[in-house]
Amino acid sequence: MPSVETFSRKEMPSSCDNLSVGILVFNDLGQLLLIERKRFPPGFAPPAGHVDGDTFRKAAERELEEEVGLKVNDLAEIARGKKHNPCRRRGGNFHYWRIYHATAEGRACGSKDEVKQLRWCSKQEIENLARRTEDYLCGKISAEEFSKQPGLEPVWYEWFQNLGILPDPAKSQRGVIPPYLYRTGALIAGRYYGEEFTSVKKAAKAFQEIGLVVYPNPEPTVTEITNDNDTFMFLGDGQEKKEPYQIELGYLRAVKALQDLPMSQQTLYVAVHGGYLGRSAGIETAYAMSLGKRIVFSEWPKRFSDKLSPKIRKIIETHMSEYPVIPVEEIQSEYRKLLGQVIPRPKLTEEEEIAVFCAILALEKDLKKSFAST
């Protein structure tokens, strides 16, 4: 058995240790060293790799020398955290990261076995790569197109925002690309308050335990206000309120961004609690149907919000039996069986699609009106 120091990628362990390091190296011009790897995942990234039984610091030194031929002089940890990024190893659906800034000696030269190309990138060049990644994550370009002309690796798109290398997404005109947009993920439709929130949280926990990324965050800090017998949830700490229609439109954008590609199978999971489906979740479900997205129900709804239009209710009742059902309690044992399988995509009629569009407009109008009266 080779030692950690002599591991080659051909002798890579079959199981993932879920521990990773990333190393940022800047030159005298302030450019950041990025590499494009020959193997999955596609995209440009700093030198990085698994810990593989070593200490984090030793692993960082090893990866920097192995991938780009640089010897570490000084190493400073600048960030750590868990990211839901997939790797090629079994069980590699997430990783606990430590990110280091390094000063190093030697001439950077990419490993012939691992590195397709090496670049020193300016801040503007990094932002250009980020735009390419956004186009891929939003479904504007295919996985094949992204592999041929990649941007940043998705996990580094997120890390660079965390580290301030990319602009604050809250101030970006393009908005935030939700972190669920990786190879597999679940977008959960359901009530995010009251008793029904229990089902959403249980579903989110089950998806996370099998290594999938969940959006929205199942444990947000919320401020609730009650108005006209409806409860609206504001994401954040209550200091800066976000209007309900902004939250809902952001969620609908997330539904639209769901991908069903070989590398990116993402699903709208409709968490129906006690047979009940609310207005927003109902519209989100019908919208996903109109776009041909992957949908899985926790159970088929039997009761609907009085505020859900009869046309939307009829659309759901007509087509829901064509989609799979996986109860919340069975997500861990059954959901992975669906990955790689084709889920039916019932085709909505033009009249049904118009009804969905009108329901979205009506919901936006009502949410704006409710917020204005608070």
**Residue-wise pLDDT tens digits, 210-225:** 767 676 655 544 444 3
- pTM value > 0.75: no
b/e sequence 289-307, b meaning 16+ C-beta within 10 Å: bbbebbbbbbbebeebbee
Query: Is the per-residue pLDDT at 374 higher than 70?
Result: no
Cα–Cα distance between 80 and 134 in angstroms, integer? Answer: 23
The pLDDT assigned to 190 comes to 74
The pLDDT assigned to 175 comes to 43
Average pLDDT over residues 276-304: 91
The pLDDT assigned to 343 comes to 75
Q: What is the chain's mean pLDDT, rounded?
A: 79
Query: Is the per-residue pLDDT at 90 higher than 70?
Result: yes
The pLDDT assigned to 254 comes to 76
Residues of the chain with CATH 3.90.79.10: 4-121
Cα–Cα distance between 302 and 276 in angstroms, integer? Answer: 6
The pLDDT assigned to 217 comes to 54
3-state secondary structure at position 196: coil
The pLDDT assigned to 371 comes to 47
Taking the domain 4-121, which CATH number applies?
3.90.79.10
Nearest to 179 by CA among 196, 155, 163: 155
The pLDDT assigned to 5 comes to 30
The pLDDT assigned to 230 comes to 38
Average pLDDT over residues 119-127: 93
Average pLDDT over residues 100-118: 93
Average pLDDT over residues 133-159: 85
The pLDDT assigned to 34 comes to 97
**Residue 106 Ramachandran class (φ > 0 left, ψ -120 to 50 alpha, else beta):** left
90-99, 109-118, 259-268, range with the lowest pLDDT: 259-268
Give 3-state DSSP helix, strand, coil % of the chain, rounded to 5.
35, 25, 40
Query: Is the per-residue pLDDT at 75 higher than 80?
Result: yes
Query: Is the per-residue pLDDT at 280 higher than 80?
Result: yes
Residues of the chain with CATH 3.40.50: 184-372
Query: Is the per-residue pLDDT at 109 higher than 70?
Result: yes
Query: Is the per-residue pLDDT at 372 higher than 70?
Result: no
Q: Answer yes or no: CATH 3.30.420 is held by domain 184-372.
A: no
Tokens of 239: 């200091």
Cα–Cα distance between 255 and 81 in angstroms, integer? Answer: 27
The pLDDT assigned to 132 comes to 92
